[in-house]
Structure 1
């Protein structure tokens, strides 16, 4: 008789080992099922199958350990049970009412038909609501930690509760009573050897990513990946002259497009390339591209690491670090303290003479200056009222239908509302021309985001204009960087031509009062992007 123990198996407990050992020694006849009834199974246990779910996920809060570490731990854990054990990876397939059936089929496929589990030859061990998926298939269930019955009562701590206890208490692990008393020695050995405690605590303290390791839950990845590929050559051509051969890192590498182009450069043929990407879906795409042979250099490696609160490369090891459209997300999602930490970490990672190439959006100088913003009222409908939407698609359709002027009022309500940001403005009409009077910074924030209706909710989190170019240079110089003269802030011609011109104008006063258009003058288009070349 087989035992099937499905779960993520990032931590194994003494109780689980005692339970499995008891079933092996005393048999299944007297075991009590989830309803408190005797199982009355005469057959002895022949093997336990650890179905490792979310096997393709790691470095996230829900799944901190990679599959190979979980498998090592399980084999150590089960070495003295007295019967065989199998580790079978089960990839994440999202929420599905057929997951139990998928798991059974996956086990058969992964073992080349060696393990064909069914309700006659297998008992499922489960203490979570997942039990229903197997019960519906006719499997008998042993509750392990759960006390039989309908109440949510347990004999001991569940593995995930122990992990949450570890991350909520920053005492040294050898003084953590739950860890000492509940965790099986096999888990303790692996967690110590691989520094898992520190890794798990870091993942849970990371404000950048969600439970499953995505930067934001509101992003449409199809459009995002398409946009990244479309601008890859532009980004590379702008940065190629500053890349220094050796160990080259691309932090926030998205789908690896910048690295792909870099591997095609003959002068970088002897270099090693490291792509760092925290978003799971993008990281998976990077590995798929590597398997497909998209990179001309074989020494291309991809890592899932948190680059915000810690080092991702050894100190003084890198010749080039590249980041693009990343630093504003760190500021937007985690705040100034983490942005400053990110800057310091990049300085630590570079060798003497190494270069950090940072390409990103940037705010204008004189950000707080009051300006008069004119927006086109005739290129769409004039609906400025607040509305609720049942889907992203419905919201996008509505936003796309609005005039540039009307869309501003939706932006004003939505922009960084979770951070309680108040975008202040007044309305003023001069010679029948309507203006929004506001800070230059807020005007630039709107102009830079008004067309991102595909990912509107995601973009509303993000601030582009928190620092001007001079403020960026000062912040890097304070750490120890020297800024190359080739660094610059500029207005992206495509953005100006396709998104700003004929839809907006920025004016400023030339006198103490603005009662006629002669009291105003047009302002040159503000900067939109920067290229910072910072040398250690």
Structure 2
């Protein structure tokens, strides 16, 4: 018989070791019962298989440890059991109802047919709801810590309970409530590789989900296409300000900017460091590196969050580049997070280093009340509040709406989860209707109205919270000097392709309407550490 022990195995416990020892007791002096209370004969157990799930995930709250560290702990854990042990990594494949079958097939494939796991030759150790999938396949379930399936009551803390205790305790290694449960194999790995501080940082992070993403409503296929499409524009705008040496791209998405920088002859002796927090995008960066897409071999990617701390050593970087990132910190985090991000970048730059930040920006006079005239003939403006189950259905509906109808939907959805209320009024002047609102809110709508594929995600984001003058003032507070080339500008492509014929802005003075130019949309900031 085989023991199959599936789980993320971020940590191993003394209970697990003692439980397996009981299962391997050839005398059956301490009989073990299955999930149904039946005594199980375990004297014929010949091997243990650890199926380490989410093996392709790491550096997230749900899966802080990479697979290799989990495997090292399991190997040390198993040495004293005196029975053959096999360890196989099982990649995360989402919420799959047949995940048990997938796991079994992966083990058979990875073992090249050596381990053909079936209900006839295998017991499954499991104390979480995952056991239902194995039980449905006919496997005998050994419940370990689980004492009551109806209430999911356990006799002792589960491994993840211990992980959460470590995440909340700086002195975890001397805490009796932790040391009583954690097995020496895991204690040694966590201590040696200083994993507790990493996990504590991950658990304190308010911006990132437990699986390592900023938002759960983004279509990454669309997002990746957008990043690759505008990569050349981003690089052309920022290239004149890059200083050779150690070059970091924070929020590197799929590595497109670094790929172009590697082709720049001026930077042939430089090292490149890509930082990306979103797991989907980090995985693509790694794959592109494996594919040999970067001309410079000295390209390194890390999945880290640059908000919660430094991602480079102090005073080590010659250039730090960010693009379309800082507004996400304000949107999904807080103002304090953004201020911390600015300070962290200053601390990472060497003297003479430069932070090149390309992003959206608000107008200087963002509180000014304006009149916005919207096209009503380019679609419908009925059922603007209709709800949909899928992102795709919502996008199809939004694409049918007129510019006016889309604004009505925008006014309802924009940052509603953050408690923001977009205040506007409909005014009739000389027989024509206008939307009266702040210039800031008008800019938010104009910048976002065509992002229908990722509407729900975009509705969390704010673009106009700071003008370029606000940015310069905050940079100077931490010691940066903003180079004169720093500027805010209006993206002419957006004007020509998304605004003309759709949106017009006016101010009312002395009973007359005066047309306004389209406001700034983007900025490039060159912040030097002198």
Structure 2 length as normaliser, TM-score?
A: 0.97
- Asked if residue 165 in structure 1 is aligned to residue 165 in structure 2, the reply is yes
Alignment of 1:204-243 (within 5 A): 204-243=203-242
Assess if the C-alpha contact under 8 Å between 2:384 and 2:401 holds in 1: no
For 2:463 and 2:103, the matched residues in 1 are separated by: 45
Displacement after TM superposition at 1:119 (Å): 2.1
Measured after TM superposition, the shift of residue 131 of structure 1 is 1.1
What corresponds to 1:35 in structure 2?
36
Correspondent of 2:515 among 514, 522, 532 = 522
Report the secondary structure of 1:227's partner residue. Answer: helix
Which residue pairs with 2:56 in the alignment? Answer: 56
Higher deviation after alignment, 57-66 or 201-210 = 201-210
Q: Secondary structure at the match of 2:32?
A: coil
Q: Deviating runs (4+, > 6 A) in structure 1?
A: none
Structure 1, residues 344-386: CA drift from partner, whole Å, max 9, x if none? 0011111111111100000000110111111112211132652
Distance 1:15 1:368 in 2: 62
Could you tell me which residue of structure 1 aligns to residue 101 of structure 2? 101
Aligned to 1:403: 402
CA distance in 2, matches of 1:182, 1:295: 46
**Alpha-carbon distance, 1:175 to partner:** 4.7
CA shift in 2, pair 1:12/1:447, >3 Å: same
**Unmatched 5+ residue regions in structure 2?**
none
Higher mean alpha-carbon deviation, 440-449 vs 395-404, is at 395-404
Partner of 2:488: 489
User: Is 2:140 aligned against 1:140?
Assistant: yes
CA positional deviation for 1:84? 2.1
Q: Would the alpha carbon gap of residues 471 and 384 (structure 1) be closer, same or farther in structure 2, given more than 3 Å must change? A: farther
Residues 107 and 115 in structure 2, CA contact (< 8 A), matched pair in contact too? yes
Q: C-alpha offsets along residues 193-231 of structure 1, whole Å, 9 cap, x if unaligned?
A: 222112112112212221211221111111111111100
Distance (whole Å) between structure 1 residues aligned to residue 401 and residue 469 of structure 2: 36
Query: In the alignment, which residue of structure 1 is the partner of 2:117?
Result: 117
Secondary structure of the residue aligned to 1:388 is coil
Q: Following the alignment from structure 1 to structure 2, what is the Cα–Cα distance between the partners of residues 42 and 187? A: 28
SS of alignment partner, residue 441 of structure 1:
helix
Structure 1 CA distance for aligned equivalents of residues 10 and 242 of structure 2: 40
Report deviation, 1:149. Answer: 5.5
Alpha carbons 1:166, 1:176 under 8 Å: kept: no
What CA deviation, in whole Å up to 9, does each residue of 1:244-275 have, x standing for no partner?
11111111111110000011111211111111
| Deviation of the 1:304 alpha carbon | 0.3
Q: Which residue of 1 aligns with 2:14?
A: 14
Following superposition, the deviation at residue 443 of structure 1 comes to 0.7
User: What is residue 507 of structure 1 aligned with on the other side?
Assistant: 506
Contact kept, 8 Å, 1:28 with 1:39, in 2: the verdict is no
- Residues 35, 149 of structure 1: 8 Å contact kept: no
Partner SS for 1:371:
strand
> Counterpart of 2:390?
391
Q: Structure 1, residues 400-441: CA drift from partner, whole Å, max 9, x if none?
A: 111111211111111000111011111211111211111110
Counting matched residue pairs gives 528
Where 1:417 maps in the other structure, the secondary structure is: coil
| Equivalent residue, structure 2, for 1:345 | 344
Secondary structure of 1:211's aligned partner? coil
Is structure 2 residue 70 aligned with structure 1 residue 77? no
Using the TM superposition, give the Cα deviation of residue 520 of structure 1 relative to its aligned residue in structure 2, in angstroms: 2.1
Contact 1:36 1:149 in 2 (8 A): no
Determine if the alignment matches structure 1 residue 422 to structure 2 residue 421: yes
Q: Distance in 2 between matches of 1:381 and 1:154?
A: 57
Partner SS for 2:51:
strand
User: Within 2, Cα distance between the matches of 1:213 and 1:474?
Assistant: 32
More displaced 10-residue stretch of structure 1: 113-122 or 302-311: 113-122
* Residue ranges of structure 1 left out of the alignment (5+ in a row): none
| Deviation per residue, 1:438-457 (Å, 9 max, x gap) | 11101101111111111111
CA contact (8 A) 1:384 1:409 kept: no
Say yes or no: does 1:304 pair with 2:297.
no
Change in Cα spacing, 1:27 to 1:410, as seen in structure 2 (3 Å) is farther
Question: Partner of 2:48: helix, strand, or coil?
Answer: strand
Q: TM-score, normalised by structure 1?
A: 0.96
Q: Which deviates more, 222-231 or 128-137?
A: 128-137
Q: Secondary structure at the match of 1:494?
A: helix
Quote the offset at 1:141 in angstroms.
Answer: 1.6
Question: Among residues 515, 524, 528, which one is paired with 1:531 in the alignment?
Answer: 524
Secondary structure of 1:489 counterpart: strand
Counterparts of 1:357 and 1:187, CA distance in 2: 42
Taking the TM superposition and a 5 Å limit, the aligned residue runs for 1:464-483 are: 464-483=463-482
Aligned-partner Cα distance in 1 for 2:373–2:153: 63
Matches within 5 A, 1:444-483: 444-483=443-482
Q: State the shift of 1:148 in Å.
A: 5.8
* 3-state secondary structure, aligned to 1:78: helix
1:155 paired residue number: 155
Shift of 1:181: 1.6
RMSD of equivalent CA atoms = 1.5
Q: Which moved more, 1:390-399 or 1:412-421?
A: 390-399
Kept in 2, the 8 Å contact 1:384–1:407? The answer is no
Query: Take 2:63 and 2:381, find their aligned partners in 1: how far apart are those partners?
Result: 47
- How many angstroms apart in 1 are the aligned matches of 2:151 and 2:420? 45
Contact 2:505 2:515 in 1 (8 A): yes
Instruction: Name whichever of 263-272 and 228-237 sits farther off.
Output: 263-272
